[in-house]
Amino acid sequence: MKRTIVLALAFVLILGVFSGCAGKEPPEPVVGEPESVKIGIFLPTKDDGDWNRAGDLMKNGLSELGYSVVLDYASNDVDTQITQIVNMLDSGCGYLIIAAIDCNTLGYVLDRAKEKNVPVIAYDRMLMNSDAVSYYVAFDPYMIGRKQGEYIRDNLNLDGSAGPYNIEIFTGDPGDEKAERMFSGAMDVLNSYIDEGKLIVRSGQTDFKQAATAAWAVEAAMSRMDAVVSANYSDGTTLHAVLCSSDSCAKGVVNSLEYNYRGAWPIITGSGCEKENVKYIIGGKQSMSFFCDTGELASRAVEMIKSLVRGETVLVNDTERFDNGNLVVPSYICEPVFVDIDNYYAILVESGFYTEEELN
Write out pLDDT tens, residues 253-267: 999 999 999 999 999
| 119 and 145 belong to one structural domain | no
The CA-atom distances, in angstroms, between 58 and each of 7, 80, 202, 332 are: 38, 21, 44, 16
Answer whether residue 10 is part of any domain.
Answer: no
Query: What average pLDDT score do residues 216-226 get?
Result: 97
Of 92, 33, 97, nearest to 71 by C-alpha is 97
Looking at residue 33, what is its pLDDT? Answer: 65
Integer angstrom CA distances of residue 188 from 8, 34, 180, 182, 247 = 56, 47, 12, 10, 21
Same domain, 170 and 159: yes
In order of 37, 82, 117, 257, the CA distances from 114 in angstroms are: 17, 15, 5, 48
User: What is the C-alpha separation between 93 and 119, in angstroms, rounded?
Assistant: 10
Q: Is the pLDDT at 16 greater than 80, yes or no?
A: no
Tell me whether residue 334 is in a domain: no
Q: What are the two backbone dihedrals, phi and then psi, of residue 149, each rounded to the nearest 5 degrees?
A: -65, -40
Q: How many CB atoms lie within 10 A of CB 143?
A: 16
Lowest mean pLDDT across 16-25, 51-60, 229-238, 292-301: 16-25
pLDDT tens-digit series, residues 285-330: 999 999 999 999 999 999 999 999 999 999 999 999 999 999 999 9
Residues 96 and 244 reside in one and the same domain: no
Helices (H), the chain: 2-21, 49-64, 78-90, 107-115, 141-155, 177-195, 208-211, 218-232, 247-260, 275-283, 294-310, 344, 356-359
Q: Is the pLDDT of residue 25 over 80?
A: no
State how far the Cα of 295 lies from the Cα of 276, in Å rounded to an integer.
19
Q: Is residue 4 part of a domain?
A: no
**Are 112 and 230 found together in one domain?**
no
Mark whether 171 and 35 lie in a shared domain.
no
Is the model more confident about 47 or about 101? 101
Q: How many domains does the chain have?
A: 2
Judge if 229 and 352 occupy the same domain: yes
Q: Is the residue at 1 inside a domain?
A: no
Q: For residue 6, tell me if it sits in a domain.
A: no
Q: pLDDT digit string (tens) for 160-193?
A: 999 999 999 999 999 898 999 999 999 999 999 9
Mean pLDDT score, 54-74: 97
Q: Give the per-residue pLDDT at 50.
A: 87
- Kind plus residue range of the DSSP H or E element containing 331: strand 331-334
Q: What is the pLDDT of the chain when averaged over all its residues?
A: 91
Distance, CA of 205 to CA of 127 (rounded, Å): 27
Residues 66 and 111 both lie in one domain:
yes
Q: Does residue 146 have a pLDDT over 80?
A: yes
Report the predicted TM-score, pTM, of the whole model to 2 decimal places: 0.84
For 222, the 3-state DSSP assignment is helix
Same domain, 107 and 47: yes
- State how far Cα 47 lies from the chain centre: 15
Percent of the chain with pLDDT over 90: 88
pLDDT(140) > 80: yes
Per-residue pLDDT at 6 exceeds 60:
no
Same domain, 301 and 271: no
* CATH number for the domain harbouring residue 286: 3.40.50.2300
Question: Are both 300 and 192 inside the same structural domain?
Answer: no
* Residue 195 domain boundaries: 141-292+339-359
Same domain, yes or no: 199 and 343: yes
**Residues 78, 110 within the same domain:** yes
Q: What is the pLDDT of residues 81-95, one digit of tens each?
A: 999 999 999 999 999
